[in-house]
Amino acid sequence: MTDFITKEKRSNIMKSIRSKNTKIEIIFRKELYRQGLRGYRINNKNIYGSPDVVYTKHKLAIFLDGDFWHGYDWKVKGRVPPKEYWQEKIQKNIERDNKVTNELQVQGWIVLRFWEYEIRNNLENCISTVKAILCAEN
């Protein structure tokens, strides 16, 4: 498949993709706040992997993973990008996600990962999971 966009234009498009404060992160955090689950920090660089939402008191790290970038069922669903570059990039993201999760668990953290589709389609379940952990810790 030929790319009809110039290299410079493609670069500008890719630069505009957010890695922080994405729509799913904002939706998720607004719902946490609305339900009174406050006291979290966002994108804490002092914690391995810089989780999207962190409750340090409870050692709870939450990652909100985009379906495409983090490879949600990408091989099973046949949504493998055509270019080898993207396949390698997504595979590395999956491997990094697993490494981060394992390392945080070794350090005693509870790690939750929610997929973009889960947040969009069943936000209440995601928030209930967080609430259950925070309430069990009190």
pLDDT of residue 138: 59
Distance between CA atoms of residues 86 and 4, nearest Å: 17
pLDDT confidence bin for 1, thresholds 50/70/90: very low
d(CA 129, CA 127): 5
User: What residue ranges do the domains of the chain occupy?
Assistant: 20-137
pLDDT > 90? residue 119: yes
Rounded to whole angstroms, how far apart are CA atoms 90 and 75?
11
pLDDT, residue 13, reads 52
CA distances from 23 to 18, 19, 74, 97, 104 (A): 9, 10, 21, 20, 25
pLDDT in tens, 27-75: 999 999 999 999 999 999 999 999 999 999 999 999 998 887 777 776 6
Note the pTM of the prediction, 2 decimals.
Answer: 0.81
Q: Are 40 and 46 in contact (CB under 8 A)?
A: no
Q: Which CATH class is domain 20-137?
A: alpha beta
Please tell me the least confidently modeled range out of 9-23, 55-69, 111-125: 9-23
